[in-house]
Amino acid sequence: MLQPFNPHYFHQIVTVKRKNDYLAPKHSTVVYSAFLFKAVVLTVLLVSCAKCLCAQIDPHIPRPEFPKSPQDAFGIRQPIPPPVVQPTPPAYRPQGGYDPFNPRAQQPPALQPPNASQIPNLIYPDLPNTKPPTQAQIQQEFIALARPKSEAYNNRANKYLQEMYADFRETAPAGYPIKPLAEHRNAYLKARKELTDMLDGKIPLSLKRAVFIVENTFDARLTWAEYNAQIAQAVRTIKPFIPDSTRPKLIYSALMKYWTDTTKDPLTQKIHLPIRYDFIDYLGEKDFKKYLVSKLLRTQTGQCHSMPLLYKILSDELGGKSFIAFAPMHSYIQHQDEKGNWLHLELTNMRYVNGATYAQTGYVKAENVKKGMYLTPLSDYQTIVYCLTDLLIQYGKLYPTDPENFILESCHLALQYFPNFYVPKLLIANVHTNRFHWEVAKAGFPKMETIAKNAYYQRYFNNMMRAYNEVDALGYEIIPLETYDKWLHSLV
């Protein structure tokens, strides 16, 4: 029987022949003859097998080619078009490639804005001038509705409405003002007029002035002279720590010292204590003054809304170039170092952080960064729009249903300057939600079947859902307060 070829045996034979010269020539010849015989037989068998295989192959069938690319390996035979060269993204890593959480964006553009003095039409059409149905009519319509078209759909809709109604009863006031007071209307119209004049280029852009306009509307006791004096005092305190005002790096270092150390005004010798984060009611839900820059100047305590605004005001006054940027429910400062790299300055702990710090909440997506929602420095025009939305937030606390469409008009104007700004769209959704709530509350919170049959309530409901869809299309996600609070305390 033919033994298989054993390379180890061949190695042993060669070694014995080379080392044992005393072996007889006859013995060596026999060993090599046996090996050659086995090799010849094995070669013959291999050739025979190859001929048999070749005889079974149809010569008319093309032989498969070795895949030249991964697409060929998966059976994609059509030619692959050359890759499309994408435009350069606005943010890069130093080693190359897009990094959404550590952007080195270009300078915020200073584009010529549209004419803000011409207020466009409302985002949603006015509701029909028809009287709402009475409670008796609603009950008759509900009784007349014998069988819903889709029982499963109505069950889901009614469950959704019940959850919404429960939230309405728990959070909303007993009633909404129908018409704003004349003093409020005139004050807010005047404030919006001055902000839009800045956006139109009729008066110079000034964040210091814009913040005062907004806060003076909320608290008329704040005067321009008092507010301006507080800013001037802070600038006097910081200037001695800037040996060369032409170098922004030295300006930022002086601001860091003013923020974190005890300093003194060289003119009045007044002591300025380090600025601290105020964790008590930092969202201003119980006291909206916690949201204000004037409160920060008065108490040296603030939060993530007032701190970045004051920092940018002081930076502008000192000749620096700092910009406000957003994260979910948060704002902070971005500026460039001497090499042109964008730095993230977190004012909660007054430290430079990596952009991934803001992604730890899990609510910063690459899509949000590319659209300019998060981690992107605001231009000067966009910062004034930011102040305009602060004005609308104050107005919305007084008149949640926006009875004279002041919020809707102003939000539509804000979106012309800042299309991807999520705050105006959230304010629009709040207005339509409050309007829907007010109407269904007066009707005794009817079920979905009644709303679907009544054009008056359907209009309110559709406007509310349309506003929600626009917020969702922007990619905005509401971060739970517990998640944000946990992340915020982790910074300290």
Domain ranges of the chain: 172-420+474-491
Instruction: Return phi, psi of residue 300, to 5°.
Output: 60, 25
As beta bridge partners, residue 342 has 336
Give the per-residue pLDDT at 150. Answer: 56
Give the per-residue pLDDT at 456. Answer: 82
DSSP 17-82: HHH-TTS-HHHHHHHHHHHHHHHHHHHHHHHHHHHHHHHHS-TTSPPPPPPSSHHHHTT--SPPPP
- H or E segment at 324? strand 323-327
| Tokens encoding 70 | 């991964």
Whole-number Å distance between alpha carbons of 367 and 98: 12
Residues near 152 by beta carbon (within 8 Å), at least 6 away in sequence? none
DSSP 187-199: HHHHHHHHHHHHH
Helix then strand then coil, % of the chain, to nearest 5: 55, 5, 40
Coil, strand, or helix at residue 239?
helix
Whole-number Å distance between alpha carbons of 378 and 309: 12
104 close to 96: Cβ distance less than 8 angstroms: no
| Tokens encoding 3 | 């033994």
Give the per-residue pLDDT at 88. Answer: 36
| Tokens encoding 481 | 């307060």
Residue 101 gets which letter from DSSP? T
240 close to 223: Cβ distance less than 8 angstroms: no
Whole-number Å distance between alpha carbons of 215 and 380: 19
As beta bridge partners, residue 353 has 344
Give the per-residue pLDDT at 384. Answer: 96
Q: What CA–CA distances, in Å, run from 184 to 113, 114, 122, 190, 398? A: 28, 27, 21, 10, 9
Q: In the structure, how many helices (H) and strands (E) does the chain have?
A: 19, 8
| Tokens encoding 178 | 């129908």
- H or E segment at 271? strand 271-272
Whole-number Å distance between alpha carbons of 467 and 23: 101
Residues near 418 by beta carbon (within 8 Å), at least 6 away in sequence? 381, 382, 385, 386, 424
Q: What is the pLDDT along the chain (492 residues), one digit of tens a residue?
A: 333 333 333 333 333 333 333 333 444 454 455 666 667 677 767 766 665 555 444 444 444 343 333 333 333 344 434 444 333 333 333 333 333 333 333 333 333 333 333 333 333 433 333 455 455 554 454 444 333 445 665 666 667 677 767 766 665 555 565 677 788 889 999 999 999 999 999 999 999 999 999 999 988 889 999 999 999 999 999 999 999 988 989 999 999 999 999 999 998 888 999 999 988 888 888 888 888 999 999 999 999 999 999 999 999 999 999 999 999 889 999 999 888 899 999 999 899 988 888 887 778 888 888 888 899 999 999 999 999 999 999 999 888 888 889 999 999 999 988 888 999 999 999 999 888 888 888 788 887 777 777 888 888 888 888 888 888 888 888 888 888 888 888 887
pTM: 0.68
Q: List strand residue ranges (DSSP E) for 348-396, in order.
A: 351-353
Decide the pairing of beta strands 271-272 and 276-277.
Answer: unpaired
Of 143, 181, 166, nearest to 437 (Cα)?
Answer: 166
Residues near 334 by beta carbon (within 8 Å), at least 6 away in sequence? 322, 323, 324, 325, 342, 343, 344, 345, 377
Whole-number Å distance between alpha carbons of 16 and 1: 25
